[in-house]
Amino acid sequence: MTIAPPLHWTARPRCAPSRLPPADVQPRQFKPYTRHTIHTAPQWQGLPEALREATQVVSRVLPLRTNAHVLDELIDWQRVPDDPIYRLTFPHADMLAAEDYRRLRDLVLVRRDDAAIEREVRRLRLAMNPHPGGQMSHNVPLLDGNPLAGVQHKYHDTVLFFPTAGQTCHAYCSYCFRWAQFIGDRTQRFGAADTSALVRYLQLHREVSDVLVTGGDPLVMGAQALATCLEPLLVPELSHVQNIRIGTKALAYWPQRFLFDADADALLRLFGRITAAGRHLALMVHFSHPVELRHPLTQQAVRRLANTGLTMRLQAPLVRHVNDDAAVWVELWNEAVRLGMVPYYLFIERDTGAHDYFCVPLARACDLFSAAYRSVSGLARTVRGPVMSTFEGKVVIDGVVTLGPERVFALQLLRARNPDWVRRPFYARFDPHATWFDELLPAFDAPHFFFQRVDDAHRRAPMIPITPVRHGPSDGGSTAPACP
């Protein structure tokens, strides 16, 4: 496979990119900025004191990581703090309750008591629902009677794999529902050091057609390390694994990964080998705002990736302060289609982390999605939304309707732990203030939704059995290469 050579790019003042840079300019090297080093970024001293303080305080709880591409190319510093990419990547005081912020600020900036800071930070994090949707309690399968590290199996045909080396990102979204992966707490982190156990599990589960390699962002990994994770899936014994997906935001936060990084060409050759092996390779690309997709480096990277035979499916959550405007989604979906991407999901921001800061009422989300959907052509109407990734599965809001005397949300499950639940309509009472599925009540005075039972007057518990993995005959001790 021939890989088209990339053009070169270098840092420049933030403006709307209109032309490609000269070919003799050398690209920059990736350099992350974190809570400990953000003060060395050129833009730091230009921030108002209140914003610097909020960054110092809130980043103790929610992780901060960014890079020069985000700072120099994507954020419009004349619009800070209201610039959407700044809102997307920097912590803000309102992400914590006022009293929690005051208490933590006092500990961090006045008392400087490390032990007290650690206790307070842990308290705040545990109150933020660090692993929503049963990720640790119900999604982790068993192999030989033991939990399978770095693997989740929620839907019968799809397995998620978390390579340890991919559990970070080129930059962090401040609304990330997997923020607990990045805080340095081993008890909160998913990860597998190699694929040997995954391969054994897949050999036993021929119903699995899809493997989603996720994080974090697996494309922070070197090409060779990623190859040791992906190539074991291409063996004939795993021919039932037809679709390999990679969740990534690298195209938005560091498009240089596909253009200038030392192993960029090797990475694209790896993708070419996967598609040449007859597997469908899909990048599940995360774009939160059109400004990320407008950049010429991103568009060039998209074209190079398309040449490998993979597909790109675009998805992102609807988040207040960032993209809660129908016009934003119209531009995002239209530009994605123009570049050959497939609009896939508009998610509702999950009930974790700074949810209260980013959440949008479900009723408004439904109106916004409908307005955007009506404004795009059929090629962009592959997108599904608004979708909530709940404990039970992916719940889509089909609309708000009046049935008899009651106004209701019309809902269905697009994906579910029990496949028999999929595409079965159900209804919830209309609530203009609800922002997540758990806040909804069944319509028509029903005691519970069809997949739930009532434990008591105040709590509904999912009636979902936990089925251990069936351990069949061994293949004779086959192993997979280490996945760093």
Model confidence over 462-482: pLDDT tens digits?
Answer: 433 333 333 343 333 333 334
pLDDT tens sequence across 310-331: 999 999 999 999 999 999 999 9
Residue 33: pLDDT above 50? yes
Q: Does the residue 320 lie in any domain? A: yes
Same domain? For 209 and 305 the reply is yes
Q: How would you classify the pairing of strands 280-286 and 311-318?
A: parallel
The verdict on residue 169 lying in a domain is yes
What three-state secondary structure class fits 319? coil
Is 52 within the bounds of a domain? yes
pLDDT(7) > 50: no
CA–CA separation, 318 and 287 (whole Å): 11
User: Is the residue at 233 inside a domain?
Assistant: yes
State which of 111, 126, 141 marks the end of a domain. Answer: 126
Query: Within this chain, do residues 288 and 319 fall inside the same structural domain, yes or no?
Result: yes
CATH, residue 205: 3.20.20.70
In a domain, 365, yes or no: no
CA dist., res. 417 & res. 394, Å (int): 9
Joined tokens for residue 208: 């699995």
Q: Are residue 183 and residue 116 in the same domain, yes or no?
A: no
The yes-or-no verdict on residue 257 having pLDDT over 90 is yes
Q: How far apart are CA 453 and CA 451, in angstroms?
A: 7
Position 461 scores a pLDDT of 39
Residues 177 and 282 both lie in one domain: yes
Share of the chain above pLDDT 70, in %: 84
Dist. CA 318–CA 83, nearest whole Å: 16
Is there a single domain that holds both residue 227 and residue 268?
A: yes
Average pLDDT of the residues in 355-363: 92
- Same domain, yes or no: 143 and 111: no
**Residue 478 confidence (pLDDT):** 36
Lowest-confidence region among 190-199, 313-322, 370-379: 190-199
Question: CA–CA distance from 410 to each of 369, 371, 402, 423, 445 (Å)?
Answer: 14, 17, 10, 12, 15
Per DSSP, 109 falls in state I
Q: Which domain holds residue 64?
A: 32-126
Final residue of a structural domain among 281, 310, 345: 345
**Omega cis (within 30) before 134:** no
Same domain, 144 and 210: yes
Instruction: Give the three-class secondary structure for 372.
Output: helix
Helices 49-58 and 98-105, axial angle in degrees (round to 10): 90
When the pLDDT of each residue in the chain is averaged and rounded to a whole number, the result is 87
Helices (H), 241-342: 250-253, 264-276, 290-294, 296-306, 326-338
Residue 219, exposed/middle/buried by CB under 10 A (0-12, 13-18, 19+)? buried
Q: Sorting pLDDT into bands at 50, 70 and 90, what band is 438? A: very high
Single out the residue in 102, 126, 150 at which a domain terminates.
Answer: 126
How many residues belong to the chain? 484
Residue 447 lies in a domain: no
In a domain? residue 311: yes
Percent of the chain with pLDDT over 90: 73
Give me the number of domains the chain comprises: 2
For residue 78, pLDDT over 70 is answered with yes
pLDDT at 26 over 80: no
Answer yes or no: do 104 and 251 share one domain: no
Rg, Å, the chain Cα set: 23
**Does 377 map to a domain?**
no
Judge whether 399 and 367 are in contact, CB under 8 Å.
no
Examine the domain organization and report whether 179 and 305 are in the same domain.
yes
Give pLDDT, residue 167: 86
For residue 435, the Cα-to-chain-centroid distance in whole angstroms is: 19
- Backbone φ and ψ of 426, nearest 5°: -150, 170
What sign for the dihedral angle of Cα 192, 247, 385, 365? positive
CA angle centred on 234, ends 229 and 237, rounded to 5°: 115
Considering the domain architecture, whether residues 258 and 168 belong to the same structural domain is answered as yes
Both tokens of residue 319?
A: 């988040």
Is the pLDDT reported for residue 3 higher than 90? no
**C-alpha span between 58 and 121 (Å, rounded):** 9
Residues 177 and 299 in one domain: yes
pLDDT of residue 191: 74
- Residue-wise DSSP of 249-270: -HHHH-GGGGTTSTTHHHHHHH
Task: Please check whether residues 117 and 151 belong to one and the same domain.
Answer: no
